[in-house]
Chains A and B, each alone.
Chain A
Amino acid sequence: MKDDKAVELFQKILAKSRDRAIKWEATAQDGIYIASLTPELQLKVWPYTAIDAEGEQTGPPSVDLRDGKGKLLVEMSYRIDGISPDELQEINYVAKRIALNLDDKMDAAIKKLDELVGDSDLPF
């Protein structure tokens, strides 16, 4: 499917997410992240594209734009020409990283690991 406007919107969301400009939030369900742009516009990242007849999640992650009450406005998935599964995986990962504050947590873990002393650190 061809939708240039949706591709432009998706690329903007990806770029702003990479810049940490979008404040993604975690939700009650693993892999779903939300961000409110204005009181009337919100973004949602899903860990899948669709749910099949058996209730199984299928496809790479997807992103959608909704209005303030949660009504679906635009769906951005790999089915649109110009949006790749890799980019969708990236946005899912970046959203998770922001929502769960993973950078700070990894920094804290790295700092703690640096402080740990092992046998090879002993001077004798």
Chain B
Amino acid sequence: MLQKLVEFLRDNWGNVASVIGVGLSLFSLIFARRASVAAREAREAVLRRNLAQDIADAGTVAADVYNFVDSARYDSAITFCTQLQTKTVYLMERHKDRLGDLPAQKLTSVLAQLEVIQKVLVKLARNAGPPNTGANDRLLESCRAVRLTYTEQHALAARSVEGDEK
């Protein structure tokens, strides 16, 4: 029996070596693919974490804008409003593929809101007197809506990160 096996291997060693070679190649291919998928998933998880962080950063600036408007410090509010516009465009561009349609649409609305807020703030900063109550309420309401949008989007992004960690 053993002798037959030895004879078989001696006659066909090339074929056997090929079969083993193919097997090893398949084995390493499967492992390489799994490693690549794992690396891609890890990268995506990091980017999702970055998205949550970027939204949180923008949310902090949105809160600053609200607080400066609330305390009628319009010059400071303008600076932070500009910063928030920049941050919003940055995160929309950086995370274009990760943001869903609805969050992206909400950030587009935020940008439009910020543009009007900026315009009103510039007008208020130029005028010496305080704004009328209606105008001030509208401005504050708009700033509050922007801040809440960031809070909401941060919660969604954070939930997505927590899903990665489970």
Chain A contact residues, CB within 8 Å of chain B: 25-30, 32, 34-36, 38-40, 42, 44, 66, 68-70
Contact = CB atoms under 8 A, between A and B. Distances in A.
B89 interface: yes
B156 interface: no
Contacts, number: 65
Contacts of A27: 112-113, 116-117, 138, 142
Given A35-B109, A36-B112, 13 more contacts: A25-B109, A26-B138, A28-B138, A28-B141, A30-B134, A34-B112, A36-B109, A39-B101, A39-B104, A39-B105, A39-B107, A42-B112, A68-B104
A32 B116 contact: yes
17 contacts: A25-B109, A26-B142, A27-B112, A27-B138, A27-B142, A28-B117, A28-B119, A28-B120, A29-B120, A30-B138, A34-B112, A34-B116, A36-B105, A36-B109, A38-B101, A68-B108, A69-B89
A25 B111 contact: no
A68 B138 contact: no
Interface residues of B, number: 26
Contact of B105 (A30, A38, A44, A70): A38
B144 to A, nearest CB: 11
Contacts of A38: 101, 105, 108
B108 A42 contact: yes
B101 A28 contact: no
B119 A29 contact: yes
Interface string B97-139: 0010100111111011101110110000000000000110011
